[in-house]
A and B are shown apart, each in its own frame.
Chain A
Amino acid sequence: MISSLLALSIAGSSLAYPVARRLGRWAGWGMALLPAALFVAFLGYAPASSAGIVATDSLAWVPSIGIDFSFRLDGFSFLFCLLITGIGTLVVIYSGAYFSDATDRERARFITLILLFMTAMLGAVLADNLIVLYLFWEATSILSFLLIGFDAASAHARRSALMSLRVTVGGGLALLAAIILTGATLGTFSLTEVSARAPELAASAWAPAIAGGLMIGAFAKSAQFPLHFWLPNAMQAPTPASAYLHSATMVKLGIYLLARFEPFFGYLPRGREVLLAVALVTMLVGAFQALRAENFKSVLAYSTVASLGILVMLVALDGPMATVAMMGFIVAHALYKATLFFVAGSVQHATGLSKLRLMGGLGRYLPVTAVAAALASLSMAGLPPFLGFISKEFLFEAQIQSTTDAIPMAVAVLVNAVIVGVAGVVTLRPFFLGRDREIEVRHGERLGLIVGPIILATLGLVISLDPGWMNASVFGPAVAAVYGTTVDVTAAMPHGLSPVLLLSGVVLGIGALIFVFWRPIHRRLRVQLWLDSYDAESAYEALLRRIDDLSLKVARTVQHGDLRGYLWTVMAAAVALAGWGMIASGVLPRIPTAEEMGVVRLGPALMALVGLAGGLAAARARGLIGAMLAVGLAGLITALMFMVNGAPDLALTQFSVESLTVVLLTVALLTLPLAGHITRSAGERKRDMALAAAMSAVLFVALMDMGSSTPVTEVSAFYGERSYIEAFGRNVVNVILVDFRGLDTLGEITVIAASSVLVWSLLGPQSRAEGQTPIASGRSAFIFRFTSPLFFWPLLVLSVITLFRGHNAIGGGFVGGLTAALAFAVVSLSHGIEQTRRRLRIHPALLVGGGLTLSIASGLPGMLVHGTYLTHVWFETSVLGFTIKQGTATLFDMGVYLVVLGAVLSYLFGFQREAAR
């Protein structure tokens, strides 16, 4: 049932926008039906509530982590629901009139936001699951953000909106942490269960952290010192929003949370003290700033801060009376403060004035508003027979009962006195005093603008005069819900003289003085500007500045833009990680066995040393040509190393790759500056050398350790056994490439293909004008011209042979393709690109694409026949009596051949073009 009400609210508010737009000027009255209906619906719970029945409702949401949409309507929630929907109705009506001169879009947007906010509020006070509570809690923060920044054009509004978002959502994160910890400690997110097991929670190790998180979250929301500063700034919001969010409902959410966790704080050592301390400071700060403020709304805002402080104090105080007082004050404050905000809005709307000083004698123009203001102020000042009076009586009653000492009492008296003063100032000054002041009033009163204030103001009187129903079905159950046991609540006029009454008298006395001497006090405090540099807001600003400065510093340090620095850091980090790993392994490197050390073959060893020398030479070389040759030497030696260790395929490939690299580099170096002038300072070179040495050392140790372990040859042995029998190839390496691990090859030729596309787009003809002149000129070209035919055809034939015998002997697609590429390279270097392409007859990209397609396709038959991709299908053909096994593997290798050929050619053409420019 509860969830259906909530669902109704959600549906209604999310569909509100178009309806409200259509309703136009009547949007206020029209849309008010939703909250009104909800209000009535909730009233229906009154009997149950007075009977002490708690309605619950639950829908599964995330069962796997025990999070459900579970709702709970007890007395406390009931009280809030009535406030939210009741005041919500009046706020919507008021906003309709408030935005009378705005566009329909704007009005609709505002009302929609208000309704969404109301929904979020309801969800928050009805939720029984803490995560659901958090969900709606955050929703209220975000909607408050949007409402404060409603007038996005004003930078001040944006700033205030961001401020409230950061403070409240930041506090929300603390709350989330507390919730998660609670869940981790108790294994449940149910609010009911948590408050039932409060002692257990308070005894847990996480208790202080949880308490801290809860407090930060609640304080941020309920504007407690030092997180209170966002609330006065939130007055940037349109006044209806201020009345609703920032006085009546949202700011009380923190109180709601604290009250729900009151038992927990009670059990926690020093829990109540902390709350009390914060509350008292907040009260004083609020009262003090209220005296300094000069805008109608900001005076109200600061007095709200003070009132919220009072509420937190009431949470902190023990004893049943504190809870009673809290309930009374929540209602009383909601009623009169909302009214006064309405009034402030009306005044501003009618006169365009916002500073209190400038107002006066408005009672003549806005009589009803004036009456409402008067009633509200009387309640605020706590004069009998208003609700405010009763709640204040309870307040002092609670303080007398509670075990705390006299300081809270004194503070409470003082702050209440200031509130009395404020009450007088905000009503008497603008409406009744200063009649001589001439103010042009844009328009008189409008029904929409007076309904809200007058109803709320009168309620403040009605309830106190006839408290029966409220006591029975609202206050009583609410107190019972929070305090645990039912307390006999009688919100009524006390009879006879009592210390409480005495205190009230004192308060009124001081309050009257404050009112009388308002002007001088206000002026005195106003001029003390230095105070502003000590308040929390400037601390917040300073913090933001700190963050921004720090972030700039960080950005500068991590984005210095020097590529060498980046690479150095990366390499250093890798060395550090690898080194750490080796240390952490806690073992020493294994070293080769003696007889393994023994079998050092002299030739290969010397060769290796030459290769190493080549590397060193490359590193030390000044000129780039020298470096290139040295690198080439190292590559060559590597090829030889492969050769003498039983890897002819590798040797061949390495060799042809090296030679191609050299060819391309020479072409490239024709355009690039050869002067390899020093780009590193001596210090940098030293550091680089050290780093390189460290990396080498790490790798050397690792390699030696690996080499000294006994190899596992199961897999490679398998290849040796099956290669010929099942894959019909004698060259095991090639069989692995095209069959056992064909996918690697497929991925790899895709790499080649992609690289050719890339080079084509970087250096292709479209990137600049076509360059046709052969780059090799002079004698070399002369030689080439004659020799190229000698090279071309033999190389081409050789490449094809290499391709086809590859499966059984040295060779294969790669080497074949590279050889073919070499053949064309010769032509291209001697006769230029155009002739080569004429000889080629086909665009390299097509070779690449075709080859890739062929290789991919060659795996498909197997997939159709055997159901697994790249399973090669074999069939026997008999040529001249010989039966030759042919299979899709051959097609695969042909694809490789084509891709490599096409890719290398597009490299070559691209580089030659670039060189020709």
Chain B
Amino acid sequence: MTVVYALLGAGLFGCGVFMLLSRNMVRMLLGLSLLTTSVNVMIFQTGRFRSQLPPIIPEGSEQLVNSADPVPQALILTAIVIGFALTVILMALALRVHGSHESVVTSEVRSAESLGDPILPEKTT
């Protein structure tokens, strides 16, 4: 399975990169959420699929025997939530950018770069 999941993780990442390189902010943030998903897939592989049993200690026994590695799962849980927060932030930014610039195409949204730009004539915010 290593190869298959490696393919899945790397492949999804590539797709995410391709979307991220778009100039449409919405597509970019979709790409970024795809990136975060793919990263979770990659982290999951550090557990090596050594078992299909969840890391939950069954009633009666006191210790975990033969289960999936719990650590990557914990890391991924954290990563998922953080990724979610960041995606939401990007969405909010995209919304406000659209509200203030009437566009979500990054080549048309230049107000940050043109602020105090030495090359362009002076502008004020």
Note whether A and B contact each other (Cβ less than 8 A). yes
Contact with A along B83-99 (1 / 0, CB 8 A): 01111110111111011
| A908 nearest in chain B by CB position | B88
Instruction: Find out whether the CB atom of A700 lies under 8 angstroms from the CB atom of B63.
Output: no
**B56 with A671: CB separation less than 8 A:** no
Of B4, B55, B59, B107, the contact of A733 (CB 8 Å cutoff): B55
Closest chain A CB from B30 CB (angstroms): 5
B9 close to A699 (CB less than 8 A): yes
Chain A residues contacting B1 (CB-CB under 8 Å) are 599-601, 604-605
B residues less than 8 Å from A410 (CB atoms): none
**B119's closest neighbor in chain A, by CB?**
A556
- The chain B residue with its CB closest to the CB of A756 is B85
The answer to the question of A257 belonging to the interface, with a C-beta cut-off of 8 Å to chain B, is no
Are B17 and A691 in contact (CB-based, < 8 A)?
yes
- Are A680 and B54 in contact, CB atoms less than 8 angstroms apart? no
Within 8 A of B (CB), among A673-711: 673, 676, 679-680, 684, 688-689, 691-693, 695-697, 699-700, 703-704, 706-708, 711
Q: Is the CB of B99 within 8 A of A647?
A: no
Q: Taking A628-B30, A731-B56 as contacts, is the C-beta distance between A650 and B80 under 8 angstroms?
A: yes
Q: B1-27, CB under 8 A of A: which get 1 and which 0? A: 111111111111111111111111011
- Count chain B CB atoms within 10 A of each CB in A608, A644, A907 and give the residue with the most: A608
User: Considering residues A552, A650, A708, which has the most beta carbons from chain B within 10 angstroms of its beta carbon?
Assistant: A650
**Inter-chain contacts of B18 with A (CB < 8 A):** 619, 688-689, 692
The segment out of A238-246, A436-444, A494-502, A557-565 that lies at the interface is A557-565
A608 touches which of B5, B16, B56, B114 (Cβ 8 Å): B5
In the complex, the chain A residue whose C-beta lies closest to that of B57 is A730
Q: How far is the CA of A810 from the CA of B95 in the complex (A)?
A: 36
Residue from A679, A748, A759, A903 within 8 A of B23 (CB atoms): A679
0/1 string, A880-917, CB within 8 A of B gives 1: 00000000000000000000100100010011001001
Cβ contact within 8 Å between A723 and B57 = yes
For the complex formed, measure the closest distance between the CB of A547 and the CB atoms of chain B, giving whole angstroms. Answer: 14
CB distance from B87 to the nearest CB of A (A): 6
Q: Which of B55-84 contact A (CB under 8 A)?
A: 55-59, 62-65, 67-71, 73-78, 80-82, 84
What CA separation (Å) do A647 and B95 show in the bound complex?
35
Which B13-53 residues have C-beta < 8 A from chain A? 13-24, 26-27, 30, 33-34, 37-38, 40-42, 44-53
Smallest CB–CB gap between A642 and chain B, Å?
7
Q: For the complex, what is the distance from the CA of A29 to the CA of B44, rounded to whole Å?
A: 83
Contact A627 B56 (CB under 8 A): no
Minimum C-beta distance from B39 to chain A (A)? 10
A668 to B93, CA, bound (A): 11
The residue among B4, B11, B96 with the most chain A CB atoms within 10 A of its own CB is: B11
CA distance in complex: A671, B97 (Å) = 12
Which of the residues A638, A708, A814 comes within 8 Å of B40, measured between beta carbons? A638
Contacts known (A703-B45, A720-B64, A752-B81); A672 close to B6, Cβ less than 8 A: no
Given A711-B50, A762-B96, are A755 and B6 neighbors across the interface (CB < 8 Å)?
Answer: no
- Which B residues are in CB contact (< 8 Å) with A393? none
Stretch binding the partner chain, chosen from A224-232, A736-744, A858-866: A736-744
In the bound complex, how far is the Cα of B68 from the Cα of A713, in angstroms?
11
The residues of B that contact A555 with a CB separation of less than 8 Å are 118-119
Query: Which A residues touch B122, using CB under 8 A?
Result: none
Give the residues in chain B near A716, CB-CB below 8 Å: 69-71
**A647 touching B68, Cβ below 8 Å:** yes
Check A692–B14 contact: CB distance below 8 A: yes
| A-B interface pairs (CB < 8 A), number | 315
- Mask, A710-727, CB within 8 Å of B = 1, is 010101100111011100
A720 cross-chain contacts in B, Cβ below 8 A: 55, 57, 63-65, 67, 70
Q: Is B110 an interface residue (CB 8 A)?
A: yes
Complex Cα–Cα for A731 and B56 (A) = 4
A732 touching B57 in the complex, CB below 8 Å, given contacts A564-B106, A592-B3 = yes
Question: Which of A55-63, A160-168, A264-272, A654-662 touches B?
Answer: A654-662
Partner of B87, one of A567, A601, A661: A661
CB–CB A646/B13 < 8 A: no
**Partner among A696, A697, A724, A758 whose Cβ is within 8 Å of the Cβ of B89:** A758
A650→B77 contact, CB < 8 A:
yes
Q: Using Cβ atoms and an 8 Å threshold, which residues of chain A touch B46?
A: 706, 711
Chain B contact residues, majority secondary structure: helix
Assess whether A596 is in contact with B37, with CB atoms less than 8 Å apart. Answer: no
> Shortest CB–CB separation between residue A356 and chain B, in angstroms?
44
Closest chain A residue to B39, Cβ basis: A699
- Interface size of B by CB at 8 A reads 92
Chain A residue at minimum C-beta to C-beta distance from B59: A730
- B74 and A725 contact, CB distance less than 8 A: no
Contact flag A914-B99 (CB < 8 Å), given A645-B44, A703-B42, A903-B85: yes
In contact, A676 and B26 (Cβ under 8 angstroms): yes
In the complex, chain B residues whose CB is within 8 Å of the CB of A612: 7-8, 11-12
Complex CA–CA separation, A645 to B51 (angstroms): 7
A336 to B57, CA, bound (A): 98
Complex Cα gap A715–B74 (Å): 13
A-side contacts of B105, CB under 8 Å: 679
A619 touches B21 (CB 8 A): no
Contact of B41 among A638, A664, A672, A713 (CB under 8 A): A638
A648 at the interface (CB under 8 A from B): yes
> In the complex the two chains form, is A696's CB within 8 Å of B81's CB?
no
Q: Say whether A657 contacts B81, CB under 8 Å.
A: yes
Is the CB of A745 closer than 8 A to any CB of chain B?
Answer: yes
**A residues within 8 A CB of B57?**
720, 723-724, 730-732
Closest to A763 in B: B92
| Minimum Cβ distance to chain A for residue B49 (Å) | 6
- Shortest CB-to-CB span from B90 to chain A, Å, is 10
Q: How far is the CB of A248 from chain B (nearest CB, A)?
A: 43
Cα–Cα distance between A661 and B46 once the two chains are bound (Å): 26
A12 at the interface (CB under 8 A from B): no
Interface string of A509-540 (1 = CB under 8 A from B): 00000000000000000000000000000000
Give, as a whole number of angstroms, the nearest-CB distance from B36 to chain A.
Answer: 9
A123 at the interface (CB under 8 A from B): no
Do B6 and A611 touch (CB < 8 A)? no
Q: Which one of B6, B23, B37, B99 lies within 8 Å of A707 (CB-CB)? A: B6
A556 to B44, CA, bound (A): 43
The one of A559, A715, A748, A808 that contacts B82, using a Cβ cutoff of 8 Å = A748
* Chain B hits for A721, CB < 8 A: 63-64
Among A597, A646, A762, point to the contact of B54 (Cβ < 8 A).
Answer: A646
Cα of A48 to Cα of B22 in the assembled complex, Å: 81
CB pair A571–B21 under 8 Å, yes or no, is yes
- Within 8 Å CB of B65, what residues of A? 720
Docked complex Cα distance between A901 and B44 (Å): 26
* Contact (Cβ within 8 A) B34 A646: no
- Determine the distance from Cα of A648 to Cα of B44 in the docked complex, in whole angstroms: 13
A-side contacts of B20, CB under 8 Å: 567
- Decide if A733 touches B77 in the complex (CB within 8 Å): yes
Q: In the bound complex, what is the Cα–Cα distance between A593 and B20 (angstroms)?
A: 35
How far, in Å, is B23 (CB) from chain A's closest CB? 3
Note all chain B residues with C-beta closer than 8 A to A638. 37, 40-41
B41–chain A nearest beta-carbon distance, Å: 6
Tell me how far the C-beta of A616 lies from the nearest C-beta in chain B, rounded to whole angstroms.
6
In the complex, the answer to whether A654 meets B13 with C-beta atoms within 8 Å is no
Alpha-carbon distance A723/B113, docked complex (angstroms): 52
Residues in chain B near residue A631, CB distance under 8 A: 30, 33-34, 37
Q: What is the CB-to-nearest-CB distance from A158 to chain B, in angstroms, rounded to a whole number?
A: 21
For B2, give its contact among A592, A624, A680, A759 (CB under 8 Å). Answer: A592
The 9 A-B pairs of least Cβ separation, nearest first, read: A720-B64, A646-B68, A696-B14, A679-B23, A707-B2, A615-B15, A561-B113, A700-B10, A703-B6
Cβ contacts A to B, 8 pairs, < 8 Å: A600-B1, A615-B14, A618-B30, A647-B68, A688-B21, A732-B55, A736-B71, A755-B89
Query: 17 more A-B contacts (CB under 8 A) besides A649-B77, A911-B95?
Result: A563-B23, A592-B3, A609-B4, A618-B30, A634-B37, A672-B95, A676-B26, A692-B17, A692-B21, A695-B14, A696-B14, A703-B9, A707-B6, A711-B47, A724-B57, A745-B78, A763-B96
